[in-house]
Each structure stands twice: as structure tokens, then as C-alpha cells.
């Protein structure tokens, strides 16, 4: 298995399956019962200015309230977690715009699996450490030293960043936006295709697409940088078989159609960064 995608932007569509990427542990803790929990990540993309991460938080894992140095999106794929005390389960979409912070995050009893993306510098910065302290104290959690990460000379480890050595982009009053796909209005994007947009800005879009068996969906939007993750079922993209867990990065000006669902249908998360 590979550790991560190459640290340069592709010049043509890049296909990865998350199972073919090695796990990297990024955070550890000792629980009240003496067991350990970890956060593990697989990186289809990790390069200066962009991150796409497939992330598993083991049960009870506590993550500080934090922001990122870019526009950030988190999509819960399986399990659930408390986000600043509010329960969020699979199908929850979290948008953390540049300047906002979110959390603390506490993984539920079954853990939680997420797709996380940073559209720009992805380093995190801690916010309101007293909230993290309260969460770990209430659960008898002891944070353990962070596992080492070796990525490249360009990488600056953000895990100890609380804004002391480097100013944060925090904007007071700017908050994360938490929605659930099932609570949002959807549109028919073709026969057997149902599309729900969690973000529909002129220069940024995040959507879930559900396809009935054999249904066809065309991406279009060739002037945007696009990211796709097949979350359920299977489909073909431009004739290429893509089972659940397939991650696709589509550079600017590439047309990658058609997308056709397999005999059991499929679900696809799609993000587009850039003007249509």
C-alpha cells in the first residue's frame, strides 16, 4: 500500500481506492479504562495547498476545538460523533469556512469515519483550549504524544499550533455550518438521479448524488477543480469501474463523463472548487 498520493497536482484525472493507501496514525489517547484510542488517516491527496483525507476516529476519541488555514469540509460517512455537544451521524455535512473553528469533537461509541478536505493550506490551529480540557477531564482521557508524521520537507506539523507562534485566521463570530443531506431539498438531475447540495456558492459546490441502478449522471463544470468519492454501491466513470471507496481528483478543464451506476445503484459525494 502507498502512504499518500504524490505531492503535486495531477495533470489528468487521478483515481485511488482508499483501501490501497496506508493508514497513518495522527493522534492517540489513553482512555479511562486503560485502553488506547487513535485517529487514523488515509491521504488520497496531501500536498502543499490541498488535503483530501479519509479519517477514522476510534470510539471516544476527543479532538480539540480547531480551525484550518483554508476552506474546510467534513462529511460523516459512518458512525457518529458529538460536535460541540451536538450529536452528528452519518450523512452530516460540516463546512468550516476560513476563519471559523469547530468542535471539540468526541467520537461516539462506534467511532466515526469522515471524508475531510482542505481547499488551501490545511494546517489546523487550536481554539479555546479550556473546552478540550473539560472534555478529556469529564471522560478520564489522557492525551498521549502525537505519533510522528513524515511527509516531506514542505510539511509543517500543525498539531501543536495554538496560535502562539503564528497568528491564526480566526474571525470572531464566524461559525461552522452543520447540515444533514436528508434535511436539505434535493433536485432531480436526470432520470434516476437525485442531487442534494450542501453548499451552492458561485465558486464552490458540495453535493451528494444518488443514482438508481443504471442511471447516468454527467459532471460538467469543467472550469472547476473537482473531487469525487464513491460512498455506496458501484459505478463506472468514463468507462472505468469504481466501487465504493474510489476517490477521484479531476483537474480543471477535464470532462469525465459519463458516470453510470451499477446494478445496485450508487452514492457519490462531489465537490467543485472554482467558477463553473
State mean pLDDT over 169-193.
Answer: 96
- Contact between 82 and 169 (Cβ < 8 Å): no
Say yes or no to pLDDT of 1 above 70. Answer: no
Confidence of residue 276 (pLDDT cuts 50, 70, 90): low
List the single range of 72-86, 178-192, 209-223 with lowest mean pLDDT.
209-223
What are the beta bridge partners of residue 241? Answer: 236
Tell me what pLDDT residue 155 has: 87
Q: What does pLDDT average to over the chain?
A: 94
Convert the pLDDT of each residue in 52-108 to its tens digit.
Answer: 999 999 999 999 999 999 999 999 999 999 999 999 999 999 999 999 999 999 999
Convert the pLDDT of each residue in 10-28 to its tens digit.
Answer: 889 999 999 999 999 999 9
Q: What is the DSSP letter of 139?
A: H
What are the beta bridge partners of residue 50? Answer: 47
Q: Which domains does the chain have, with CATH numbers?
A: 14-179 (2.60.120.10), 184-273 (2.60.120.10)
Amino acid at each position: 500500500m502507498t502512504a499518500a498520493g504524490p505531492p503535486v497536482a495531477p495533470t489528468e484525472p487521478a483515481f485511488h481506492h482508499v483501501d490501497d493507501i496506508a493508514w497513518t496514525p495522527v493522534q492517540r489517547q489513553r482512555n479511562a479504562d486503560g485502553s488506547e484510542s487513535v485517529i487514523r488517516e488515509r491521504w488520497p491527496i496531501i500536498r502543499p495547498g490541498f488535503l483530501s483525507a479519509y479519517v477514522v476516529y476510534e470510539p471516544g476519541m476527543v479532538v480539540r476545538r480547531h480551525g484550518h488555514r483554508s476552506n474546510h469540509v467534513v462529511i460523516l460517512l459512518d458512525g457518529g460523533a458529538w460536535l460541540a455537544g451536538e450529536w452528528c451521524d452519518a450523512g452530516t455535512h460540516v463546512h468550516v469556512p476560513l476563519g471559523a473553528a469547530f468542535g471539540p469533537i468526541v467520537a461516539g461509541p462506534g467511532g466515526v469515519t469522515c471524508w475531510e478536505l482542505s481547499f488551501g493550506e490545511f494546517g489546523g490551529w487550536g481554539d479555546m483550549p479550556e473546552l478540550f480540557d473539560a472534555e478529556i477531564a469529564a471522560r478520564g482521557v489522557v492525551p498521549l504524544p502525537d505519533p510522528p508524521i513524515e511527509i516531506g520537507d514542505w510539511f509543517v506539523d500543525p498539531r501543536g499550533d495554538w496560535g502562539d507562534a503564528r497568528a491564526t485566521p480566526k474571525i470572531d463570530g464566524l461559525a461552522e455550518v452543520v447540515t444533514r443531506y436528508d434535511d436539505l431539498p434535493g433536485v432531480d438531475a436526470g432520470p434516476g438521479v437525485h442531487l442534494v447540495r450542501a453548499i451552492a456558492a458561485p465558486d464552490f459546490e458540495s453535493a451528494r448524488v444518488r443514482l438508481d441502478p443504471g442511471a447516468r449522471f454527467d459532471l460538467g463544470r469543467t472550469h472547476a477543480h473537482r473531487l469525487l468519492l464513491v460512498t455506496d454501491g458501484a459505478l463506472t466513470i468514463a468507462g472505468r469501474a469504481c466501487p465504493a471507496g474510489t476517490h477521484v481528483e479531476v483537474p480543471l478543464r477535464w470532462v469525465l463523463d459519463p458516470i453510470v451506476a451499477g446494478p445496485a445503484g450508487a452514492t457519490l459525494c462531489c465537490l467543485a472548487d472554482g467558477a463553473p
